[in-house]
Amino acid sequence: MSKVGETTLVLDLSALAHNYHYLRSKIKPETKFLGVVKAFAYGSDMVVIAKKLEQLGAYYLAVAYENEGVLLRNTGIKLPILVLHPLASNFEGLIKYNLEPSIYSKNILTQFLAEASSKQLDAYPIHIKFNTGLNRLGFSESDLDFISDEIKENRNVKVVSTFSHLAASEDANEREFSLNQIAAFKKLSGALNQKLGYAPMRHMLNTSGIINYPEAQFEMVRSGIGLYGYGNEAAVDASLQPVATLKTIISQIHHIGPNESVGYNRAFSSQELKKTATLPIGHADGIGRQYGKGKGIVTIHGKKAPIIGNVCMDMIMVDITGIDCKEGDEVLVFGPDKSAESFAEGANTISYEILTAISQRVKREVKEG
Ligand X SMILES: *Cc1c(COP(=O)(O)O)cnc(C)c1O
| Residues 6+ away with beta carbon under 8 Å from 71 | 46, 47
Identify the active-site residue in 26, 38, 52, 274. 38
Residue 136 assigned to a binding site: yes
127 makes contact with ligand X (CB under 6 A): no
Min dist CB 208 to ligand X, Å, is 6
Active site residue 264: yes
212 makes contact with ligand X (CB under 6 A): no
- Helix (H) or strand (E) holding 32, with range, is strand 32-36
Helix, strand, coil in percent for the chain, rounding step 5: 35, 25, 40
Q: How far is CA 54 from the centre of its chain?
A: 17
Asked if residue 69 lies in contact with residue 62, where contact means CB atoms within 8 angstroms, the answer is: no
> What is the sign of the dihedral through the CA atoms of 163, 356, 33 and 235?
negative
Active site residue 42: no
Min dist CB 224 to ligand X, Å, is 3
Residue closer to ligand X by CB (options 90, 207) is 207
**In whole angstroms, what is the distance from residue 213 CA to residue 204 CA?**
10
Min dist CB 227 to ligand X, Å, is 8
Residue 258 is which amino acid?
Answer: P
7 makes contact with ligand X (CB under 6 A): no
Asked if residue 244 lies in contact with residue 333, where contact means CB atoms within 8 angstroms, the answer is: no
Min dist CB 231 to ligand X, Å, is 9
204 makes contact with ligand X (CB under 6 A): no
Asked if residue 248 lies in contact with residue 300, where contact means CB atoms within 8 angstroms, the answer is: no
**In whole angstroms, what is the distance from residue 82 CA to residue 79 CA?**
10
Asked if residue 160 lies in contact with residue 127, where contact means CB atoms within 8 angstroms, the answer is: yes
Question: Which of 207, 212, 245, 339 is the binder for ligand X (CB under 6 A)?
Answer: 207
Residue 46 assigned to a binding site: no
The footprint of ligand X on residues 40-99 (CB under 6 A) is: 84
Question: Which of 4, 15, 23, 36 is the binder for ligand X (CB under 6 A)?
Answer: 36
Only one of the segments 89-97, 193-201, 216-224, 319-327 lies at the binding site for ligand X (rule: CB under 6 A); that segment is 216-224
242 makes contact with ligand X (CB under 6 A): no
**In whole angstroms, what is the distance from residue 338 CA to residue 187 CA?**
43
223 makes contact with ligand X (CB under 6 A): yes
Binding string to ligand X for residues 251 to 280, with x set by CB under 6 A, is what? ------------------------------
Facing residues of 276 across strands?
254, 319
The footprint of ligand X on residues 147-176 (CB under 6 A) is: 165
**In whole angstroms, what is the distance from residue 276 CA to residue 323 CA?**
10
Only one of the segments 1-9, 22-30, 221-229, 343-351 lies at the binding site for ligand X (rule: CB under 6 A); that segment is 221-229
Residues annotated as catalytic (active site), given as ranges: 38, 264
| Site residues for ligand X per CB under 6 A | 36, 38, 84, 165, 206-207, 222-226
Binding residues for substrate: 136, 313
